Amino acid sequence: MFSIGDFAALGRVSVRMLRHYDAIGLLRPARVDAASGYRFYAVDQLPVLNRVLALKDLGFSLQQVQTMLDEKVDVGELRGMLRLRRAQLAEEMAANSARLALVDARLRMIETEGHMDTGDVILKSIPPLRVAELSAPAPSYDGPDITVALSPLYPQLMERLESQGIAMDGSPIAYYLPDPHGATDEAITVHAAFPIRGDVPADPGFDVVELPAVEHAATLVHHGPMSEAFRTGQLLANWIDAGGYRTVGKGYAREVYLDCPDDQRLWITEMQVEVTPGDDPARNDG
């Protein structure tokens, strides 16, 4: 038998918590001294305490935990629930890490405002391009929404191209269009594409599209993860505005992934925004 203090220390919980569990009938002491009222616990109550804490960490209320203990949830079921919860927490941590990195990147962007060099922007024409592509809806043009929708498409497309014996003929491309069937005005369709050559059989499991020529595209090479693409987007916006141009359509950038190693900090991506000369003659001089 262990005193409540010793049992709390062994179970890595507070004495106050054990008293609360006793008060609500969740984990009663094995014995209570009639004279002093001291609580004592048996060693075989530690597994029960562990289950209580595990179920609580899974997000169940203490009332639900009591019901589950009464129904004697077996070890296999509990292990499965814990593994599922672990996966959920890992996903939340990854999402929070991505958000933190985005906050840091935006902070760096704010700190460099007024000191951004747009001299590397190149205005060029882009020829038409025949591509194989897969597409998916995304709720918005926001970086995390794009990543979730776009990332799975490339391995699927590569597998289907390989199964059909179709050669890729250039760097992977992403482009974006408004989704006319989206739930909101912000909804878009993301397109993952590879330039291809050669004949394509009927029903290959992907679409074959000819991307139209672009007469004027403001282009800039982005270095780093696409979660920070807004930095390059802002540089392009400054150049477009200063040059008296206007974006065509929604102004979504076409992205050409020139180099994509495992470390996304080393990615090299050309961002292309279709533009047209503005209507203000004073802004178009030179």
What is the spatial distance between Cα 9 and Cα 76, in angstroms, rounded to a whole number? 27
Tokens of residue 278, six digits:
């503005």
Torsion angle of C-alpha atoms 16, 18, 21, 27, degrees rounded to 10: -170
Q: What is the pLDDT of residue 106?
A: 62
pLDDT given for residue 118 in this prediction: 52
Q: For residues 173 and 193, what is the distance between their CA atoms, to the nearest angstrom?
A: 5
Candidates 137, 147, 126, 144; CA nearest to 273 is: 126
The whole-number pLDDT of residue 95 equals: 75
Extract the tokens encoding 158. 């590569």
What is the tens place of the pLDDT at every residue in 4-44?
999 988 888 889 999 999 998 889 999 998 899 899 999 98
Structure confidence at residue 282 (pLDDT): 41
Domains observed in the chain? 2-73 (1.10.1660.10), 122-284 (3.20.80.10)
Q: What is the DSSP letter of 31?
A: E
The mean predicted confidence, pLDDT, of the chain is 85
DSSP element (H, E) containing 210: strand 207-211
Q: What is the pLDDT of residue 286?
A: 36
User: Which 3 state secondary structure label does DSSP give 200?
Assistant: coil
pLDDT of residue 119: 58
Per-residue model confidence (pLDDT) at position 285: 40
Task: Find the DSSP H helices in the chain.
Answer: 4-11, 15-23, 46-57, 62-70, 75-111, 143-150, 153-164, 229-242, 281-284
| Residue 218: HSE in the Cβ half-sphere, 13 Å Cα cutoff | 28
User: Distance between CA atoms of 192 and 70, rounded to whole angstroms?
Assistant: 52
Tens digits of pLDDT across the chain (286 residues):
889 999 988 888 889 999 999 998 889 999 998 899 899 999 989 988 888 888 887 778 888 888 777 767 677 777 777 788 788 888 888 777 767 776 776 666 566 555 455 558 999 999 999 999 999 999 998 888 888 899 999 999 999 999 999 989 999 999 999 998 888 889 999 999 999 988 898 889 999 999 999 999 999 999 888 888 888 888 898 899 888 999 998 889 999 999 999 998 899 999 999 999 876 544 434 3
How high is the pLDDT of residue 219?
94
Burial class (CB in 10 A: 0-12, 13-18, 19+), 70: exposed
| pLDDT of amino acid 281 | 43
pLDDT of residue 130: 95
Q: What is the pLDDT of residue 64?
A: 81
Residues 6+ apart with CB under 8 A from 76: none
Q: Which residues pair with 23 in a beta bridge?
A: none
CB distance 10 to 42 below 8 Å: no
pTM of the model: 0.62
